[in-house]
Amino acid sequence: MLAMLLVVLDIRSLAQTSPEWTQRLVLVSIPDRKLAVLGNGQVIARFSVSVGAAVSPSPRGEFEIVSRVANPTYYHDGVVIPPGRGNPVVTRWLGLNTKGYGIHGTNAPSSIGHAASHGCIRLRNRDMEKLFTMLRVGDAVEIRGERDEEIAEIFGGDSTVAETRGAGEIGGQ
């Protein structure tokens, strides 16, 4: 039993130090309604997203992915929806180290590009399934509420001009 445990630990340490594995950074721009995945400082992928509505804004700051769940169960305000049809987070969940917040798909694709969620970051389902394969537990997430030079470089546009959108655009998760 001890030997098996040591082998498992040894395999985990090899995976983390493998040259193929590098920690990724997920950068979310709330004003742009965009998400980028960076590896070794280079943009690997960009996606359009939905962010928190004015009444339930997305948290800002630095976070870490603490869970990866395929076919998750949805929990919100005493409501529990099992995986499958009708589940608002659909097929993938990347949980952040702030309880109740994560990155997930949506059953309301028209919300993408708007401030419409309960604070989570939503992607189109096909984009979420692709993103899920790119990230691991321990990867960093930065959610930014203002544009700066780095955001402008990654997502385009002027770092001094933020796009303004309506406060109560679309309701949803």
Percent of the chain with pLDDT over 70: 79
Residue 165, in any domain of the structure: no
Residue 132, in any domain of the structure: yes
Query: Over the stretch 36-83, which tens digit does the pLDDT of each residue have?
Result: 999 999 999 999 999 999 999 999 999 999 999 999 999 888 999 999
Query: Is residue 105 helix, strand or coil?
Result: coil
Residue 15, in any domain of the structure: no
Looking at residue 8, its pLDDT comes to 34
Band the pLDDT of 92: cuts 50, 70, 90.
very high
Cα gap 47→160, rounded to integer Å:
22
Q: What is the pTM of this model?
A: 0.80
Residue 142, in any domain of the structure: yes
CATH number at residue 120: 2.40.440.10
Query: Tokens at residue 76, please?
Result: 């919100």
Domain range spanning residue 126? 23-155
Query: Tokens at residue 170, please?
Result: 């679309």
Residue 166, in any domain of the structure: no
Q: Count of CB atoms within 10 A of residue 70's CB?
A: 10
Whether residue 24 has pLDDT greater than 80? yes
Residue 10, in any domain of the structure: no
Query: Tokens at residue 86, please?
Result: 């009708």
Query: Over the stretch 108-125, which tens digit does the pLDDT of each residue have?
Result: 999 999 999 999 999 999
**Residues tagged active-site:** 104, 120
Residue 107, in any domain of the structure: yes
Q: Count of CB atoms within 10 A of residue 76's CB?
A: 13
Looking at residue 158, its pLDDT comes to 73
Amino acid letter, residue 106: T
Percent of the chain with pLDDT over 90: 73
Residue 9, in any domain of the structure: no
- Count of domains for the chain: 1
